[in-house]
Amino acid sequence: MRDTGIRVLLILMLVGGVALAGCTAQESTNNTSAAGKDAATLFTRAGTLGEQGNYQQALATYEQGLQIDPNNVEALNGKGATLRALGRDEEALAAFTRATEVDPTSAPSWMNRGDALERLGRTGEADAAYKKAADLDSTAMK
């Protein structure tokens, strides 16, 4: 059984990660082309649509932007959060897993992945993802 304090910390990280994904979806630092700027605009728009509860439109906009910038971790997390809001947990897990593949050091991505796994009843895998997120977050705090 997970320690309550760690669980609370991880939930707070999840909330922060989802907010980050929805509010700050920015272009990748190595993508400064005009197409990258278009992707950043799309990601920002998708986040706004998601905040307004327009999940289908948000998802379509994330997907459009990810065609331009497929390795944008914030957008992958935003897409996953949108899929989760739509009750499409398997697809959300795929988006979060992709985010952890693109940036294995992203604590919010691991936290989101853990949440998706937990929603799917895969608690052992969820615990491992939560632990990874906590380890990464504590490393970043040093």
Query: In the chain, what are the domains?
Result: 4-141 (1.25.40.10)
Do 87 and 76 form a contact (C-beta atoms < 8 A)?
A: no
Does residue 61 have a pLDDT over 80? yes
List, for residues 65-92, the tens digit of each pLDDT value.
999 999 999 999 999 999 999 999 999 9
The pLDDT assigned to 126 comes to 97
pTM, rounded to two decimals: 0.75
d(CA 54, CA 128): 32
Exposure string of 75-100, with b = 16+ CB inside 10 Å and e = fewer, is bbbbbbbbbbeeebbebbbbbbbbbb
Tell me what percent of the residues of the chain surpass a pLDDT of 70: 73
CA dist., res. 29 & res. 20, Å (int): 16
